[in-house]
Chain A
Amino acid sequence: MDGMHDLGGRQGFGRVRFTVGARAFHEIWEVRANALYAFAVRCGIFNMDEYRHAIERMDPRHYLTASYYERSLTSLATLLVEKGVVTREELERRAGGVFPLASPSAPGRTNASNRQRFKAGDRVRVKPDFVPGHIRMPGYIRGKTGVVVSESPVYPFPDAHAHSVEAQDEPTYDVRFRTEDLWPNSADKALVHVAVFQSYLEPA
């Protein structure tokens, strides 16, 4: 989905709030929120793609104003409700107030039928796919051409794995793009490497 989470290359953001030795956590509840989501994954209640997608399904206004660990906790709560572990009513009764959750999921999809193997040096194009569900193709590479650097081991296909759709595991390709191709005349010169699932690619 073309959600608010897909931030790469968006303009208008400011300086990075960088400090040397910056912390991962600032509040105790953040450590607990992180632990509870990891616990739910270990228990097999949901997988990492479902977890990521539930964050992406948050209302864009909530997504932008929530802290990182609020997004994480919202995903956890949403999936616990959707998987039938708890009800929203129970969570809100226990919390003593409104517990914002993410919006319902759209359908996922299985692997592309015309997948091809690529080798280092091949020029590839990212297919102009638009899907309503989970996808790990950042919008800034859609339709863009790059060069294959290497092939990864096979991974669960996120577009299916986030939606309990049957699919084969498939490799990703480390594809090297030039920023002048991604954002012509509007970017610092650099190479951007993206791990692109096989189903998202076609020969260029």
Chain B
Amino acid sequence: MPDSERVIRPTATMEQRVDAIQAALDERGMKAAEAVAEQAHRVQEEWVPRNGARVVARAWVDPAFKARLLADGRAAVAELGLSMPKHHRHLVVLENAPKVQNVICCTLCSCTAFTLIGLPPDWYKDLDYRARVVRESRTVLSEMGLDLSPDVEIRVWDTTADTRYMVLPERPSGTEGWPEDKLADLVTRDSLIGVARLSPGGA
């Protein structure tokens, strides 16, 4: 198409572009509308950070599970009935410690263990986070509200292949004897990404 023609025609809105693709697929008998409804349910109701929170709570109360989780994340989360897409062939769980903070990112696009952590939040996909977190991690975390003391080692994990990562945050003090469900309530999505630590129980 000549450039002159493109200049004078308006660019379609995002809604018009989505409608166009869906209608084109539907007309070819591909039942895109049904697929959209199913996927919308999955991303909003099934692939939620509560999944990762359940994994973390189990790891806190069950040392044998934690050992299996750190050795083979994909197999361990399956024990809790949690699945990962076929192409996420490997799950590496990153254990935080008082002097270690793990944080995950994807500088090239937006890869995450989304069935466990949920579809990534807007800021995770923004250019600013992707550009800066690998190079200015301490500054970026501080701007995001996580001030780490200088002796805490920061480990940034760039999701450049089909290995997926999830952070195992530290169990807050004051939560001894809590049931798993209540522990899972403490675990935030941001702590699974590694840009937040968890508050002590009862604080």
Using a CB–CB distance below 8 Å, which chain A residues touch chain B?
Answer: 5-11, 13-27, 29, 31-36, 38-40, 42-43, 48, 52, 55, 64, 68-70, 73, 76-77, 80, 85-86, 88, 90-92, 94-100, 136-138, 140, 150, 152-153, 155, 158, 172, 174, 179, 182-183, 186-197
* Other contacts beyond A10-B131, A36-B21, A179-B134: 16, CB < 8 A: A9-B107, A11-B135, A13-B131, A16-B144, A22-B121, A33-B14, A36-B36, A39-B36, A68-B126, A86-B21, A90-B24, A98-B12, A153-B90, A192-B155, A195-B159, A195-B161
Q: A16-B143, A187-B136 are in contact. Are A155 and B161 (CB under 8 A)?
A: yes
- Interchain CB contact under 8 A, B156 and A32: no
A to B contact number (C-beta, < 8 Å): 244
Question: A40 to chain B: which residues have CB within 8 Å?
Answer: 25
Select one of A6, A23, A29, A85 contacting B107, CB under 8 A: A6
Please give the distance in Å from A81's CB to the nearest CB on chain B.
10
Q: A97-B12, A190-B155 are in contact. Are A9 and B109 (CB under 8 A)?
A: no
Select one of B10, B36, B132, B163 contacting A172, CB under 8 A: B163
- Interchain CB contact under 8 A, B109 and A18: no
Please give the distance in Å from A183's CB to the nearest CB on chain B.
6
Q: How far is the CA of A172 from the CA of B89 in the complex (A)?
A: 12
Q: A6-B107, A52-B108 are in contact. Are A98 and B10 (CB under 8 A)?
A: yes
Binds A, one of B27-35, B54-62, B168-176, B178-186: B27-35
Instruction: List the A residue with the shortest CB-CB distance to B8.
Output: A98
Question: A42 to chain B: which residues have CB within 8 Å?
Answer: 35
Q: A73-B17, A194-B158 are in contact. Are A32 and B36 (CB under 8 A)?
A: yes
B130 interface residue, CB < 8 Å from A?
yes
Q: A22-B122, A80-B21 are in contact. Are A188 and B135 (CB under 8 A)?
A: yes
- Interchain CB contact under 8 A, B163 and A7: no
Please give the distance in Å from B101's CB to the nearest CB on chain A.
9
Using a CB–CB distance below 8 Å, which chain B residues touch chain A?
Answer: 1, 6, 9-25, 28, 30, 32, 35-36, 38-40, 43-44, 87, 89-90, 92, 107-110, 118-123, 125-140, 143-145, 153-163, 188-190, 195-196
Select one of B24, B125, B133 contacting A68, CB under 8 A: B125
Query: What are 11 residue pairs bridging A and B, where the CB atoms are less than 8 Å apart in the complex?
Result: A9-B134, A13-B132, A16-B128, A21-B189, A36-B22, A43-B30, A97-B13, A97-B16, A138-B107, A190-B156, A191-B154
Select one of B9, B139, B158 contacting A138, CB under 8 A: B158
Question: B120 to chain A: which residues have CB within 8 Å?
Answer: 24
- Interchain CB contact under 8 A, B130 and A8: yes
Instruction: List the A residue with the shortest CB-CB distance to B30.
Output: A43
Question: A43 to chain B: which residues have CB within 8 Å?
Answer: 30
Instruction: List the A residue with the shortest CB-CB distance to B101.
Output: A190
